Structure 1
């Protein structure tokens, strides 16, 4: 009971901490406050500072309340299901606060004509095509080894497995396990998940390396150097997180094969890799990410990033531009990239992915 309560509490605390840090300029783009494109000289505008204060102060009240309620519900129901409800409520509260801040900053920007006296421009780093940041293939080796070792162990123990395997029952209430016939699908389902996770993460890294860079029109050379550093660090961090998540799936596979459903064991198998992944993400943001200081040797161009608010939607969470050929563009929420929903290739890829996922789910049910 205490283990389940602690697990619920930990999940809410981690998600709450992430949501609390999202608007911080160190975590996101300094030229996009709450999804609104802003000039550099407005980074410390009173309206922006006030909205950050309100967002953070409300979450600091909501997070402990939801954490406590989720932990109590988890202890009473002996289930981690309340954590999913708590995360959903927390995300809804954060989204409402974000939308309010976005609206207030947008109104101040339009009223004050923040871009009225500025020269807007865009820059490109052609060396990212002629001399791109290389894919760190060596960082895929640990993840591949984890998958290979897990699969090998599964092949060895498979002949000695019982006729049925106990898998967790879905739903709210007391945690229970149902018996399923021992098949390749039930015994190696998490191993297949490891393969898909690794392939997905490799695809994300490849796409990120070819994404549109987030460059500063005022300091193009310095921002290009910092972006290369960030891009290389992001690629390594994502592959390291894939290894950690594969370790978690390996541990869960061992639980399925052994039938040991100890609460402390499950908490360690799930909690330690997730905490380590969060530490990797924090290192990426605090030590690798961020705009950094401008180069003193580079004279400012006198330009600022273009005001492209007309292409954003959902309080800056989405980017829609049918005239933009880019698939991935810099995100206005946190760091990283988001997809251009106006690009036909994105829509076709999304449709194909949904169709493949639906076919795989139907096949799994039939099997």
Structure 2
């Protein structure tokens, strides 16, 4: 199972990294804002091709290396360790390529004086809010009902549990690590789950209140992309919430009732969860990336109307980190990849994202 999960992970990361330059909106190339009319510039197209080919080559090497390790006499532990390290190798390699082409694109932009003599404008369309199909944030409290039920059940059977309770299960489905029974160790999983559910609620609420940024040069496509991003991200977040609630509840029930399910179910269930998450991520990428990007297939007119979007490169550190104290939005669309990223100048984002992560880490290390 470990090999299958890790191989699928590496393959998925590879495909996303290779396709990334073609999924982002046309007017952002490797984190650099460019005029709409320059999206067909030979250098821009060349940079995207070179990045995709280089990343594909690196991904093939990583996948081949992992497959060869599986065929050798390597132990299961070392195989898993390699499967964890290799995706990071792939991500670091693609990130290095990203920064290289980010520098090259910035250099071409400056040398060509692309934004000089061009009027930069911001587009606001109040009617687009009426078409926003993001789910109401309260739906993320629906899975909390199951979490509360699991907590109540745990309290009810606490006295019947053995003095040593399992905290980890091996590949064969058998527990291989135990700890002394206490309220904290027994309720650890439901409490973690509740913290995650609160975080999902905060993310959805903050995203719903964040601004919808449209393009002055491609309003209809930009509007469709923003609405798709918000709608499908909201649904994806709810699906992840429900799946995590089901998985954590399944694990908690297995802790409370020994031999509740077969050993095969103990490793099949996380695999199904993992596959569903990856499938949802792929659907999100396609649904969002199909608008206002190279996937749209729209022909770019080789002329300028002397109006462009505001060049916000100064607010993006390396094209990846957004820091704009003048923007009240907590989350904004990524410049490389699909989804939202945090406005690091807005302190509310730290409370929504990092506080729950700190709580979960503290609970993990204090068990």
Q: Same fold (TM over 0.5)?
A: yes
Offset at residue 63 of structure 1 (A): 1.9
Could you tell me which residue of structure 2 aligns to residue 9 of structure 1? 7
Matched, 1:95 2:91: no
CA distance in 1, matches of 2:263, 2:320: 38
For residues 68 and 193 of structure 2, the distance between their equivalents in structure 1, rounded to whole angstroms, comes to 33
> What is the Cα deviation at residue 71 of structure 1?
5.4
Native 8 Å contact 1:136 1:236 kept in 2: no
Provide the secondary structure at the position in 1 that maps to 2:217: coil
Counterpart position of 1:297 = none
Match of 1:204 in 2: 203
- The 10-residue stretch of structure 1 (133-142 or 322-331) with the greater mean CA deviation from structure 2: 133-142
Tell whether the 8 Å contact from 2:196 to 2:356 is kept in structure 1 after alignment. no
Task: Single out whichever of 237-246 and 109-118 deviates more from structure 2.
Answer: 109-118
What is the deviation of 1:122?
Answer: 0.6
Q: Check the 8 A contact 2:162/2:181 in 1, yes or no.
A: yes
Q: CA deviation at 1:361?
A: 5.2
Distance in 2 (CA, whole Å) between partners of 1:318 and 1:361 is 24
CA positional deviation for 1:6 = 2.1
Q: Could you say which residue in structure 2 is the equivalent of 1:333? A: 336
2:122 aligns with 122
5+ residue gaps, structure 1, are: 295-299
RMSD: 3.6
Change (3 A) 1:219 1:358: closer
- 3-state secondary structure, aligned to 2:332: strand
Q: Indicate if the aligned counterparts of 2:207 and 2:330 stay in contact, CA closer than 8 A.
A: no
CA distance in 2, matches of 1:246, 1:339: 25
Deviations 1:266-303 (A, max 9, x none): 44222211221222222223235543579xxxxx9863
- Counterparts of residues 172-251 of structure 1 (less than 5 Å): 177-220=176-219, 223-224=222-223, 227-251=226-250
Distance 1:356 1:141, change over 3 A: closer
Match of 2:56 in 1: 60
Tell me what 1:28 maps to.
24
Distance 1:224 1:351 in 2: 29
CA distance in 2 between counterparts of 1:360 and 1:95 reads 28
Q: 2:32 aligned with 1:42, yes or no?
A: no
1:360: Cα distance to partner? Answer: 6.7
Larger relative CO (CA 8 A, sep 6+): 1 or 2?
A: 2
How many residues end up aligned between the 2 structures? 350
CA contact (8 A) 2:190 2:248 kept: yes
In 2, Cα distance between equivalents of 1:144 and 1:97: 42
1:313 alignment partner in structure 2: 317
Can you list the C-alpha shifts for 1:99-149, whole angstroms capped at 9, x where unaligned? 111111111111122223533211123356799766435743663354345
2:165 match? 165
Query: C-alpha offsets along residues 209-242 of structure 1, whole Å, 9 cap, x if unaligned?
Result: 1112121112446644653344233212211121
Q: Which residue of 1 aligns with 2:301?
A: none
CA deviations on 1:9-43 (whole Å, 9 max, x unpaired) are 1222222222222222xx32221111010111222
The residue that corresponds to 1:83 in the other structure is: 83
What's the counterpart of residue 16 of structure 2?
18
Q: Gaps (5+ residues) in structure 2?
A: 299-303
Corresponding residue for 2:273? 273
Structure 2 match to 1:69:
65
Q: Mean Cα displacement is larger for which, 214-223 or 4-13?
A: 214-223
